[in-house]
Structure 1
Amino acid sequence: MPRSFSPIQLVSLPRMTAVSTARLLAELLETAFREPMLPAPIADDRTTLSALHETLQVELGKRVVAEGEAPPVVSVVDRIEDNAFGALSDWLLSFKRLPTERHPVAADAAMVHDTLFGQGLGFLRLRAADEWQEAETRMRILKEKGLDVVIEKLGGKPFLDELTFAHTAYGEALGITKPRPASDPPSLGKAQSEAIDALRSYVLRVAAHVRENEPATAELAERLLAPLAQWRDRPSKKRRSAKADDSTR
């Protein structure tokens, strides 16, 4: 089998996530842009690397703010559901304050509130998956006991609609009622892969510039690739914790 001389075969890189890839590229680019007179081939590769680094940054940003096909941010839909349950509870409580002898509907509101929120709203402070389950139980009670019909007769359909919307979004965000897409969407994986390919080409370009009889070229390469060399030497979390354990013995 003929030997391959592609950058993938010639340049070995540490295993990195999309986030760590972006961080390493940022360090390499910062170092490269500090050099006032880069050889043209290296400068060209630096420009390519910079553009792909920007693309990777954009894709990472989409994941954080949940754009496109990414799932909703759990904390956001959590607040929406908290608000929906809180609004319904407050609305029912306002009915309960009315004297039942003059406003019979107050008794209906009190019955609905005590059934759904007799134990308070403490379930909204549970961890996300447990909160969703407690909310799901109350959503089922609404239907099974006909409480939704009572609420509608009291004029509370907007509260029911908001609650249904919020609970559906919450279940999807948690991946309970709808499978969540992979944490890293295909566009992010593609951006990372292209950035890593460009990084390999950049490393080869820098290394190829070195001339044995020109020390300045070796010094330039050493400066440009210092972030990568230092990255390789960084201990992993497991190695750091092992060293810490040894030092306490």
Structure 2
Amino acid sequence: MHISLSGKTALVTGSTQGIGYAIAKGLAQAGAKVFVNGRDEEKTSDAAEQLSQSVDGAGVLLPVAADVGTAEGCKDLVEKTGSVDILVNNVGIFGPEDFFEVEDATWETFLEVNVMSGVRLSRAYLPAMKDKGWGRVVFLSSESAVNIPGEMVHYGVTKAANLATSRGLAKVMAGTGVTVNSVLPGPTLTEGVRTMLADEIDENTSFEEAAAEMARRDRPSTIIRRAATPEEVANMVVYVASEQASATTGAALRVEGGIVESII
């Protein structure tokens, strides 16, 4: 299968590092022109420059700094980009915290960043996709949407909301040529996970080894027995953004190494 996204324009939120960066790179390698997004202008520009240098024939990779965790930031991003063919709602925050210690302000921040960013951007970009008769919207959810973690209830709730939003929007876009799907990663070798595991990494234990141990300890149902790479998650996103995935919509596509104990 040869995936070509030549002539398509994509926006990946939170794409300066981790899964978001890997998705932006994968889309660029497939020929799309990619808007790289982050909150910090310098970091966003650096990520776009890095992509330009690492992807042959990538064309112009445009950095767009905007905080999509706010209504104003989403509006600013839309004004700077205009319409896009592919929207990847990747931006997200996470972190373990005792349910009884999570204050309203933290819940509100998680909801704004993890849920409302995708709601606002989908509302802004979907009408033009519908008019064009082609478009792709992908929400980065998580296996935590299905296996709500006791140590991150607030996070799990927002990831479950991603599933509900994408399924509902797929129905809203029925018959238009626009698909809306969710991708569910599990433990992944990102900078955020590296920070969580900082105390477990030393001269005798690599990041990959520590992440594999975390996956086996905290998600004992894992079948691959390790953390995924950002590129493995990105591969699924690139596929579902392609023409080849035109019959896939309203789906929750798992890249979580078999953690979820369900055969469908």
Identify the TM-score tier after normalising by the shorter chain.
under 0.3
TM-score (norm 2): 0.24
Q: TM-score, normalised by structure 1?
A: 0.25
The structure number with the bigger radius of gyration is: 1
Q: Which structure: greater strand fraction?
A: 2
